């Protein structure tokens, strides 16, 4: 199939383009669109055949459930069978925004969206383009990140095109996705709630609203994998092998460079030793939100430049860096 790119104004998307994309969703097609986190690959969440196309286009394993996107809280409530007070409180505080809630699913949601499980993940995204598209479509939209399974999430339309050109109907190009990392996923179907995937909203911010939240110390616990495949140890990875270094990254970079490998080096703050032959050095922001906003775009660039190894100076082991470190670890597993 030919993939059509519809370019829209990020803040005020043209209604005609949005109507075209919404019509594709309503007739069972696949539409990639920007959210405030990353680009999603959407299909009508109530149409099993359309959702099956997401798995086919991405090469996504059937045991990985998909997040359902809704235009507003009312629509979100239609895909679940219970809506605890904690859900109202979190939704009122963080929606539209990068928070995904896991709740018991309604039978209207096809089993493949939830990987056969009894719960569904739902969120209201914050980008004008995403909200306009969801409203025009008039249905909830299942949307994982718009990349081939296992690869880096896209933060720009060109990343989507490179990964899925010819495999999906439409890409709505609404400029860069500003957040840069996927939403926080919280399971409210159990008590206490459990953080399934760290994201742009930190666990303490959630705890101030709903009290203690169970945090998973490490990814890869069997239960965690079943409950939330975003927790698979290797995920969100660039093509070039990536290694994280807590200290003495310069020594490691020099060692790899001396083997004649082309290296991409993400430093945290200014490196002391700047010019090494064969090393592309990128100074990453020391602010967590800025780092998150740039990380995937930088990794996409290094892949495109054909580096053979990526070395990353890890940011500090503190809560504000939780999500960045989580994604870097997965990229390196
Ligand atoms: O920021 C985001 O959340 C992006 C944008 C496009 O909204 N979407 C995204 O979707 O990252 P995806 O499909 O790549 O991530 C889905 C992850 C699963 O791997 C799992 O961790 C969790 O969300 N998830 C989805 N449905 C679930 C369910 N029923 N129960 C538990 N976890 C679920
Ligand atoms: Mg993904």
pLDDT tens by residue, 151-162: 999 999 999 999
> Both 128 and 48 in a single domain?
yes
For residues 95 and 130, what is the distance between their CA atoms, to the nearest angstrom?
13
The answer to the question of residue 169 being in a domain is: yes
- Across the beta sheet with 31-34, what order do the strands follow? 4-7, 170-173, 31-34, 39-44, 141-142, 67-69, 119-123, 99-104, 184-187, 194-197, 214-215
Round the average pLDDT of the chain to a whole number and report it: 93
Phi (first) and psi of residue 312, to 5 degrees: -125, 125
Q: Please state, for a pLDDT cut of 70, what percent of the chain lies above it.
A: 93
Atom of ligand 1 lying closest to residue 229 CA: 19
The answer to the question of residue 14 being in a domain is: yes
Q: Is the pLDDT of residue 225 over 70?
A: no
What is the count of structural domains for the chain? 2
> Which of 49, 96, 98 has the alpha carbon at shortest distance from 74?
96
- Look at residue 274 in the predicted model and tell me its pLDDT: 61
For residues 208 and 205, what is the distance between their CA atoms, to the nearest angstrom?
5
> Ligand 1 site: residues with CB under 6 angstroms?
35, 37-38, 40, 64-67, 98, 100, 102, 114, 117, 119-121, 125, 143-145, 182-183, 185, 196-197, 227-230
Full domain range(s) for residue 114: 4-82+107-183
The answer to the question of residue 246 being in a domain is: yes
> Both 137 and 255 in a single domain?
no
Question: Residue 247's pLDDT band (boundaries 50, 70, 90)?
Answer: confident
Atom of ligand 1 lying closest to residue 125 CA: 7
The answer to the question of residue 64 being in a domain is: yes
Residue nearest to atom 15 of ligand 1 (CA): 144
Task: Answer for the pair 297, 157: CB distance below 8 angstroms, yes or no.
Answer: no
The answer to the question of residue 90 being in a domain is: no
Q: Structure tokens of 22?
A: 């919404």
- Burial, 12: exposed, middle or buried (Cβ in 10 Å; 0-12, 13-18, 19+)? exposed
Task: Answer for the pair 157, 21: CB distance below 8 angstroms, yes or no.
Answer: no
> Both 177 and 264 in a single domain?
no
């Amino acid at each position: 199939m030919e993939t059509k790119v519809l370019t829209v104004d990020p803040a005020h998307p043209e209604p005609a383009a949005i109507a075209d994309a919404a019509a594709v969703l309503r007739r069972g097609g696949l539409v990639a669109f920007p959210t405030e986190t990353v680009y999603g690959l959407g299909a009508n969440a109530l149409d099993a055949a359309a959702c099956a196309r997401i798995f086919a286009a991405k090469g996504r394993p059937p045991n990985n459930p998909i997040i359902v996107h809704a235009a507003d809280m009312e629509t979100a409530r239609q895909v679940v069978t219970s809506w605890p007070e904690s859900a109202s409180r979190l939704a009122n505080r963080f929606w539209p925004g990068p928070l995904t809630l896991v709740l018991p699913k309604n039978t209207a949601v096809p089993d493949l969206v939830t990987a056969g499980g009894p719960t569904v993940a739902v969120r209201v995204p914050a980008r004008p383009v995403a909200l306009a598209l969801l409203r025009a479509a008039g249905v909830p939209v299942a949307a994982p990140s718009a990349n081939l399974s296992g690869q880096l999430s896209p933060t720009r339309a060109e990343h989507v095109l490179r990964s899925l050109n010819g495999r999906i109907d439409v890409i709505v190009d609404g400029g860069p996705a500003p957040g840069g990392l996927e939403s926080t996923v919280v399971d409210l179907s159990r008590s206490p709630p459990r953080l399934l995937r760290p994201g742009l909203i930190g666990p303490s911010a959630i705890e101030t609203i709903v009290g203690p939240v169970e945090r998973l110390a490490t990814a890869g616990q069997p239960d965690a994998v079943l409950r939330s495949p975003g927790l698979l140890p290797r995920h969100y990875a660039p093509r070039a092998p990536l290694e994280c270094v807590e200290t003495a990254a310069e020594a490691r970079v020099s060692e790899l460079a001396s083997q004649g490998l082309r290296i991409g080096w993400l430093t945290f703050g200014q490196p002391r030793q700047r010019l090494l032959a064969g090393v592309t050095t990128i100074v990453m922001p020391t602010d967590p939100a800025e780092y998150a906003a740039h990380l995937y775009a930088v990794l996409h660039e290094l892949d495109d430049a054909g580096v053979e190894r990526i070395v990353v100076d890890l940011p500090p082991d503190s809560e504000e860096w939780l999500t960045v470190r989580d994604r870097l670890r997965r990229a390196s597993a």
